[in-house]
Amino acid sequence: MPTYQRFMNTWHKDNKRIEEFITRFNKECVEIGNVGEDLLCAHFRKAVRYDDVIRTITDKEGMPKDLDRIMLATKVYAQNSSTSEESVCHLEESMNEELTRVLLNVEESIPDASHVEESVHGRMNNRVKNNIDLSFEMILHLVFMFAIICIANAGDPNILTEFIAPNNTIDANYFTFTGMRQLVGGEYPTTFKALKVTMNEFPTLNGQSVSYVVLEFPIVSINPVHIHPRASELMFLVSGSLQVGFVDTSNTLYKQTLQIGDIFVFPKGLVHFQYNNDTKEPALAISAFGSANPGTQSIPTSVFNTSIFEGILDASFHATRATLRRIEDGLKG
């Protein structure tokens, strides 16, 4: 077969690695000699028979114009593909080791667990083999999607600067909040009071994913059941004692009596409360949040001081209309 015809019959075979095709293609180019580079590039694009390669090495200006750049870009693609396959193989080994360890524990309690091991190993191997067939581009897509999910789960969106300033003439005063000076030497309020330092009171916090609140509890006072929809709360008890607690989504109550110096965390979005039942000593606590605007939603106010149809409340609480109205009147008073 003439050299030129043999060169035109050089194709990438499905069962061969891309590196082998590049070596064979280069060999045929050397043997055939004087062939225009445009023809070489055009034939390579057809001969590689792998659309993913073409998509990867093509930028906004199109495919590289000379053969050397095409070969270099293809080799980089092949190396990345090889690395991803090695990673998947390593994942397969780790998964199989962990699976074997678990199955050994299962065998201690199940007399005939061998058929379980064979079945699970079969499904695991098939799944990993299918994963190996994924292209490097697909793996990149999965990593990118995972990054988006992580960002979506963050408390506040990331900002692209160190801080957000209204203008270019700020100084240290912009980063200073003086609203807590009223606490120094002040008297306790007659009812529960929360002094907040969020982005609403201190705009500098915008984009910093942090905020603060000082909670003042006179004797026998309560911070009613509420939630913070956008952040967890980390409370530090400075003085006095507090009864605190939260309820999770399985309706389990976690309650604790805090003493001076204790720290308690209230998970994000869960109903919680703080109560000073001491008849002689007030209490003071400081809470930090993982958001510049954690939000506070009072459960009693949200339920009974809004325009929810009374019939819905009747059915929800299995209470009479008169009972619900007494609760509403009490909240308004």
For the record, the structure tokens of 156 come out as 């506040």
Work out the pLDDT band at 325, boundaries 50, 70, 90: confident
Q: Is 216 exposed, middle or buried (0-12, 13-18, 19+ CB in 10 A)?
A: buried
**Distance from the Cα of residue 179 to its chain's centroid:** 34
What is the spatial distance between Cα 272 and Cα 245, in angstroms, rounded to a whole number? 6
Amino acid in the structure at residue 333: G
pLDDT in tens, 137-191: 554 444 445 444 444 444 688 888 899 988 888 999 999 999 999 999 888 999 9
pLDDT digits (tens, 9 = 90+) for 249-286: 999 999 999 999 999 999 999 999 999 999 999 999 99
Question: Is pLDDT above 70 for 71?
Answer: no
**Statement: residue 221 has pLDDT above 90:** yes
* From 16-25, 30-39, 69-78, the region with the lowest mean pLDDT: 30-39
Which of 274, 292, 293, 294 has its CA nearest to residue 284?
A: 274
CA distances from 235 to 174, 246, 274 (A): 26, 13, 10
Angle of helix 37-47 relative to helix 18-32, nearest 10 degrees? 150
Homologous superfamily, domain 172-295:
Jelly Rolls (2.60.120.10)
Tens digits of per-residue pLDDT, 297-308?
999 989 987 788
Determine what percent of the chain is predicted with pLDDT higher than 90.
39
Q: pTM of whole model > 0.85?
A: no
Structure tokens at 206: 């915008």
Burial of 114 (0-12, 13-18, 19+ CB in 10 A): exposed
- Predicted confidence band of residue 84 (pLDDT cuts 50, 70, 90): very low
Mean pLDDT of 28-46: 62
Beta-carbon-side half-sphere exposure of residue 267 (alpha carbons within 13 Å): 7
Higher pLDDT, 286 or 5: 286
pLDDT, residue 152, reads 45
- The Cα–Cα gap between 278 and 240 comes to 8
Nearest Cα to 66, choosing from 39, 31, 94? 39
pLDDT in the model for residue 319: 87
What does the pLDDT average to over 313-322? 88
Task: Give one DSSP letter per residue of 186-245, joined into a string.
Answer: PPPPSS-EEEEESTTT-GGGTTS--EEEEEEE-TTEEEEEEE-TT--EEEEEEES-EEEE
Q: Count Cα neighbours of 74 within 13 Å in the Cβ-side half-sphere.
A: 28
51's tokens: 């659309």
Average pLDDT along the chain: 75
Tokens of 158: 């990331």
Assess whether pLDDT exceeds 80 at residue 108.
no
Q: Which residues of 185-198 are buried (b: 16+ CB within 10 A; e: fewer)?
A: eeebeeebeebbbb
CA distance 12 to 172: 65
